[in-house]
Chain A
Amino acid sequence: ETGVTQSPTHLIKTRGQQVTLRCSSQSGHNTVSWYQQALGQGPQFIFQYYREEENGRGNFPPRFSGLQFPNYSSELNVNALELDDSALYLCASSTLRLAGGSRETHEQFFGPGTRLTVL
């Protein structure tokens, strides 16, 4: 197990509602990323936070927003839910650091995910 936890495990919402998903990073990690995974597809990158600042974002609209807290835990907020938002939402933590010779490391360790169903 990675030590990355997510809550809740499952969630059912109706179209138009708002949802907040939570993630607790692995101890010592300073970077958190969020992904959306539809059935049978690979994870789609939503955004990444490094030391509480967003430092990367995929092709998702502004109604997908996030926060990273000083203890490196994180939230994903989705406003105005749409039916297509139904998916597995994955959180991944990592340590973005320079490892000798300015090489960054990006290994990401995933949590179990939150299954969101929008009706």
Chain B
Amino acid sequence: EDQVTQSPEALRLQEGESSSLNCSYTVSGLRGLFWYRQDPGKGPEFLFTLYSAGEEKEKERLKATLTKKESFLHITAPKPEDSATYLCAVGGYSGTYKYIFGTGTRLKVLA
């Protein structure tokens, strides 16, 4: 069964306290793993796409990595403006396309 599980559900960090968010997945016909950021009342904002195990992408304080079963979003020295819900999703193909999202990790960074 296609599934995406994110942990932890919620995370509180002090400003400057680095941490990692986890996304474990199973999907047939993987067409990419995606990370999004979502602020309250807004649509998700695209961050990264990873296509194959071992791939890494970086953007400012964020770094995403991918293995065959999971992905990590590393946040280095976070700031209060990094507070948001971080969503992980996978795209798959088994005759037709499909996209499965996790329930997200709610991150709060305290000043």
Contacts and interface: CB of A to CB of B under 8 A. Distances in A.
Q: Is the interface of B mostly helix, strand, loop or mixed?
A: strand
A111 B43 contact: yes
Contacts of B102: 42
Interface of A: 2, 4, 33, 35, 40-45, 48, 55-58, 90, 92, 103-113
Interface residues of B, number: 24
Contact of A107 (B4, B46, B104): B46
A56 B46 contact: no
Interface of B: 4, 31-32, 34, 36, 42-46, 49, 51, 87, 89, 91, 96-104
B14 to A, nearest CB: 25
Name the 5 nearest CB pairs between A and B, nearest first.
Answer: A56-B97, A110-B43, A42-B101, A106-B91, A56-B96
Nearest to A110: B43
A110 B34 contact: no
Given A43-B89, A48-B97, A106-B34, 19 more contacts: A35-B99, A35-B101, A41-B103, A42-B4, A42-B103, A43-B44, A44-B101, A55-B96, A56-B96, A56-B98, A56-B99, A90-B43, A90-B44, A104-B32, A105-B32, A105-B49, A106-B99, A110-B44, A112-B43
Contact of B31 (A40, A55, A58, A106): A106
Contacts of A44: 101
